[in-house]
Amino acid sequence: MAQIKLRGDKCDDLVTALKASEFYRFYKQHKHELILCVRHNEIHIYYACDRIAKIKCVNNKLTFKINEYYMKGKGYDNEKLYTESDIIKNYDNIKKNSERKNKREKQAQQQLFINNNSNPKSNWFCVDVEYVKAYASQTDKDDDEGGCGRFDIIAISKSKPTIACYELKYGKVAFGGNSGLKKHIDDFSTFKLKGYCKSQLNIEVAKIINVLQKLGEPIPNELQNITSDDIQAEPKFFFAVLDCKARTKKYIETTPYGELAVQFLFSADKLPRIEIKDIIDDKKWVAL
């Protein structure tokens, strides 16, 4: 029977090779604008929450796969293997092609994540971006109504570790349609009702944190060597809106979302510079 490929599994050889690489030294020099995310047997690097590299370890050597769009500005559906020196030498061009997409929501998402984890006084630690629940097979996913559990950010509290499943929107223009409020609330609800936090997400978050710790990433003292048993069984769900206007609040207040407990957060903060330093408890958030 096929097994679910959990984030954080089979990463030991990858961690060893990456720590010794030129690319990891380059990444550490650019941590103010890059996010490192742990996957199953892979590490992904994000700029403006665009995945700009998929890193694996094959026969004790690192491989780097990147979407051709970021290297050449075209060919978005085509991924190709490159060397780490290719990625480093073309980094400015990769950034430029990402910025051409002008996705404000993604840019804000990245700033929130990095700001939070750069603030030792934050009550939260951001663990992952672009989380998607893994399934053992496509059949299992199809049987689960096409899959659930897609979150912009996964965070965990430093005190009484509790997972936060976090969805971000930027202004009212981001509401409605297939990516609107109701769809996300339905996704939150299904994920909770099916118990996927305790059965999968808690395990993955603990594995991710431990891989980051092995890499030498700065992990809060309260979360070092964490196990899934240390994490509260029930997650919290947050829906945050930046560049928020009063009419956006009214839209949310009049949108039915059932009995699921969702915390709504609003802030007038907007690009190009997000000043929020705590992803949930910052005073610049107004809760609803």
Instruction: Kindly report, residue by residue over 199-257, the tens digit of the pLDDT.
Output: 899 999 999 999 999 999 999 999 999 999 999 998 999 989 899 865 555 555 555 55
Instruction: Kindly report, residue by residue over 81-99, the tens digit of the pLDDT.
Output: 999 999 999 999 999 999 9
Q: What is the pLDDT of residue 286?
A: 87
Q: What angle, 0 to 180 degrees and rounded to 10, lies between the N-to-C axes of helices 12-19 and 22-29?
A: 80
Torsion from C-alpha of 190, 202, 267, 246, nearest 10 degrees: 10
Higher pLDDT residue, 177 or 27? Answer: 27
DSSP state of 4: P
What phi, psi does 142 have (nearest 5°)?
-60, -40
Query: DSSP E strands: which ranges in 59-123?
Result: 61-67, 79-82
* β-strand partners of 1: none
pLDDT score of 100 more than 70: yes
- In one-letter notation, the amino acid at residue 31 is K
Q: What is the pLDDT of residue 258?
A: 56
Instruction: Kindly report, residue by residue over 35-66, the tens digit of the pLDDT.
Output: 999 999 999 999 999 999 999 999 999 999 99
Q: By C-alpha distance, which of 215, 204, 270 is closest to 241?
A: 270
Q: How far, in Å, CA of 136 to CA of 245, rounded?
A: 42
Q: How far, in Å, CA of 195 to CA of 270, rounded?
A: 35
DSSP state of 73: S
Q: How far, in Å, CA of 100 to CA of 78, rounded?
A: 18
pTM of the model: 0.92
